[in-house]
Amino acid sequence: MNKKSIKWVAGIVLPFMLLAGCGANNAAPAGQKDGEAAAPGQTEAAPITLKMGLQPWVGNGPMWIAEKKGFFEKNGLKVELVSFEQDSDMNAAFAADKIQVANLATQTAIRVVGNESMDAKGIIFMDESLDADAILATKDITSVDQLVGKKIAYEEGTTSDLLLQSALKEQGKTVKDVTPVFMPAANAGLSLIPGNVDAAVTYAPYISEVLDKGKDRGIHVLYSAKNSPGLISDMVVTKAAFLTEHPDAKEKLRKAWDEALAFWRENPEEGNQIVAAGSGSQADEMPPILEGLKFFNTTEQAELVNSGEMMKTASNIHQLLKDGGTLKQDVNLEALFDMK
């Protein structure tokens, strides 16, 4: 299915300038560093206002925590989280500047840049899927090569699409060798239960729901993201123009992310409740879902960058997209991955 990103104003005219919206030029008052509290007698710098697009996916968990626990506000951000059910709707909103930041699968970010000629920057590498994305099949299908000629439900152009392409490529096949049945990931797995399709690609929490409801039909995990390490990941993306207008946005978003992730790691029960509410899951479903995900704070992200693993994985995704005919032009991955 689907994986892996703001300037200040000063002076007594600030309240009036804020009426112009989040596009205002926000520079810290003289003598005050970005992110510092204003000294006595100085005007408080305005928070950077933005809308962030995301989907009901557990990988976005730290963002719901940052909203609930005030980590955005603490770091000088005023963030409205905007939820989307499908990649296509969020991509369109991002392209039209209806949202300033989007939490996208890595492959989606690459496609958006390549197909829309968008100057975008990935500023936070959020997570990597292990078992949280999977191809599910009925009991009579026990190997990927048996998918040839079968009806497979998945959401086109998403991480589900990429995972299927990767699995088929390992067997020397492509999506042309199967019969795609396009539908949202939330519905794809469920279509297996009445036998409408032979296999489906989806992600957590839908995986566990389908496995539970499809026990009598022998529905099982045929292939998961663990079979293609690093393939399915998510990242926080914003446009270069937004970072030019708000050069401290990247650091503020990173700090909010790190603090929210640290809170979740230190307070798993409360964190799980917040993330369950945001993703439409139950809190008791969170532990097994999280076992299939690996999150990265910015220090861990830097280790991926410095080791070369991040760019190696991105190059693999880029090639899969080209092979699958879903990438119109090559993407400068070094420019896109603004992770340093």
Alpha-carbon distance of 31 to 42, in angstroms, equals: 10
Strands (E), the chain: 48-54, 77-83, 101-105, 120-129, 133-137, 151-154, 179-182, 199-203, 220-224, 233-239, 293-295
| φ, ψ (nearest 5 deg) of residue 324 | -85, -5
Residue that the structure tokens 């699409």 belong to: 161
Given phi > 0 = left and psi -120 to 50 = alpha, else beta, which region is 38? beta
pLDDT along the chain (340 residues), means of 10: 35 35 41 43 74 94 98 98 92 96 95 93 95 94 97 92 94 95 94 96 91 94 92 96 97 98 98 95 90 95 94 94 90 93
Residue closest to 280 by CA, chosen among 193, 185, 145, 213 = 185
Distance in angstroms (rounded) separating the CA atoms of residues 66 and 101? 15
| Closest by CA position to 126, among listed 159, 162, 77 | 159
d(CA 11, CA 15): 9
**pLDDT score at 319:** 93
**pLDDT for res 340:** 80
Q: Tokens representing 144?
A: 């990927």
- What domains does the chain contain, in order, with CATH numbers? 14-129+232-336 (3.40.190.10), 133-227 (3.40.190.10)
Gap between the terminal Cα atoms of the chain: 28
Q: What pLDDT, on a 0 to 100 scale, did the predictor assign at position 44?
A: 55
DSSP characters for 281-332? --GGGHHHHHHTEEE--HHHHHHHHHHTHHHHHHHHHHHHHHHTT--SS---
Q: Can you give the length of the chain in residues?
A: 340
Tally of CB atoms within 10 A around 233: 29
User: Model pTM?
Assistant: 0.78
User: For the range 171-176, what are the long-range contacts, defined as Cβ-Cβ under 8 Å and sequence gap of 24 or more?
Assistant: 171/144, 171/145, 173/145, 173/147, 173/148, 174/323, 174/324, 175/324
If one counts every other C-beta atom within 10 angstroms of the C-beta of residue 93, the result is 16
Dihedrals φ, ψ of 151, to 5°?
A: -85, 125
Single-letter code of the amino acid located at 238: T
Q: What was the pLDDT predicted at 142?
A: 97
